[in-house]
């Protein structure tokens, strides 16, 4: 158990990743349900039974691929967001960058996208380990909201990421996560009233989400962010799965427009 790996350990690590790579290749090419241990083994020039030294079953291999896909998507979103921030983009610009990266990744890896956001494999139960990676995109967007909210709450002096046309409300204070009441606060909603107060159940769910990934953001904004989040993935799924044929296909313009509208919607 030293830092120096034995030859065996190195070989094992290498083969493990070769198996994953080949499996990923098959999923990318033909979809998750066509993933076959025998085909992977064949391609790697080994007996199919040998794979069982590395993965206890097909489902376990699938789980690893799912985690990898979530991670790849999450990393792509994080990178794009950070790059936008580095280039001086405000919160809205970063939101755009994140959403655009998610779509770009999905278009580039449609079967891997389907693996994580499409129909779940029947009988397959996502294990605990997938939860973290699955939340990375949400964490990025939640972080953006939290950052923007904190900056605005701090007043004009701290409003480096305030939207050019957006009217900050300097009189308000930054709220905490439990301040998820009616959403009246420092948030410029582009004139859109956050009218409907959250029903109790949603209020608590929003508080949980806020505590996890968007501290300080009030409940109604979280609720809207959830709406924007489901819209984002709904739109991408529709595009990939052919549901936009006959309406917004090709979807570039619609996507771009939607992202803008949803950024308005959440108050960025």
Partner DNA sequence: TGTACATCAGTGAACGCGCGTTCACTGATGTAC
Interface residues with DNA (CB under 7 A)?
6-9, 11-12, 15, 35-39, 45-50, 52-54, 57-59
Find the shortest distance in angstroms from Cβ 228 to DNA: 38
- Only one residue has tokens 């996507």, namely 255
Of 77 and 151, nearer to a copy of itself (C-beta) is 77
- Interface residues for a copy of itself in 32-71 (CB under 8 A)? 33-34
- Written as six digits, the tokens of 220 are 């109604």
Binding mask 83-122 for a copy of itself (x = CB under 8 A): -------------------------------x--xxxx-x
Of 35 and 228, nearer to DNA (C-beta) is 35
Virtual torsion, Cα 85, 176, 224, 186, nearest 10 deg: -80
> Is 73 among the residues that bind a copy of itself (CB under 8 A)?
no
Cα–Cα distance measured from residue 31 to residue 25, given in angstroms and rounded to the nearest whole number: 9
User: Please, what sign has the CA dihedral across residues 160, 161, 162, 164?
Assistant: positive
User: Among residues 58, 75, 135, 158, which is the contact residue for a copy of itself, using CB under 8 A?
Assistant: 135
Provide φ and ψ at 52, rounded to 5°. -70, -10
Residue 133 and residue 70 in contact, taking contact as beta carbons nearer than 8 Å: yes
Q: Would you call 155 helix, strand, or coil by DSSP?
A: coil
Give the CA angle between residues 176, 177, 179 to the nearest 5°: 70
Of 88 and 191, nearer to a copy of itself (C-beta) is 191
Cα–Cα distance measured from residue 198 to residue 167, given in angstroms and rounded to the nearest whole number: 24
- Interface residues for a copy of itself in 185-224 (CB under 8 A)? 190-193, 195-196, 198-202, 205, 208-209, 223-224
- Closest residue by Cα to residue 68 from 19, 103, 138: 19
Of 62 and 91, nearer to DNA (C-beta) is 62
User: In the complex, which residues of this chain contact a copy of itself (CB under 8 A)?
Assistant: 30-31, 33-34, 114, 117-120, 122, 126, 131, 134-135, 138, 190-193, 195-196, 198-202, 205, 208-209, 223-224, 226-227, 230-235, 237-238, 241-243, 246-250, 252-254, 256-258, 260-262, 264-265
């Amino acid at each position: 158990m030293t830092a120096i790996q034995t030859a065996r350990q190195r070989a094992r690590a290498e083969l493990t990743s070769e198996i994953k790579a080949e499996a990923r290749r098959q999923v990318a090419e033909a979809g998750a349900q066509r993933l076959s241990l025998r085909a992977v083994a064949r391609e790697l020039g080994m007996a199919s039974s040998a794979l069982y030294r590395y993965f206890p079953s097909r489902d376990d291999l699938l789980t690893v691929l799912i985690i990898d896909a979530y991670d790849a998507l999450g990393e792509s979103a994080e990178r794009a967001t950070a790059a936008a921030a580095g280039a001086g983009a405000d919160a809205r610009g970063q939101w755009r960058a994140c959403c655009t990266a998610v779509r770009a990744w999905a278009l580039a890896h449609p079967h891997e996208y389907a693996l994580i956001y499409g129909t779940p494999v029947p009988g397959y139960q996502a294990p605990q380990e997938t939860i973290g990676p699955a939340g990375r995109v949400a964490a990025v967007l939640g972080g953006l909201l939290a950052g923007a909210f904190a900056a605005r709450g701090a007043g004009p002096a701290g409003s480096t990421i305030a939207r050019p046309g957006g009217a900050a409300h300097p009189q308000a204070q930054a709220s905490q996560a439990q301040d998820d009441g009616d959403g009246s606060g420092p948030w410029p909603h582009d004139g859109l009233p956050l009218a409907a107060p959250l029903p109790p159940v949603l209020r608590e769910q929003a508080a949980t989400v806020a505590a996890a990934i968007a501290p300080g953001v009030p409940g109604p904004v979280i609720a809207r962010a959830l709406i924007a989040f489901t819209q984002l993935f709904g739109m991408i799924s529709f595009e990939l799965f052919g549901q936009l044929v006959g309406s917004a296909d090709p979807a570039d313009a619609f996507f771009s427009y939607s992202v803008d509208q949803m950024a308005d919607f959440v108050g960025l």
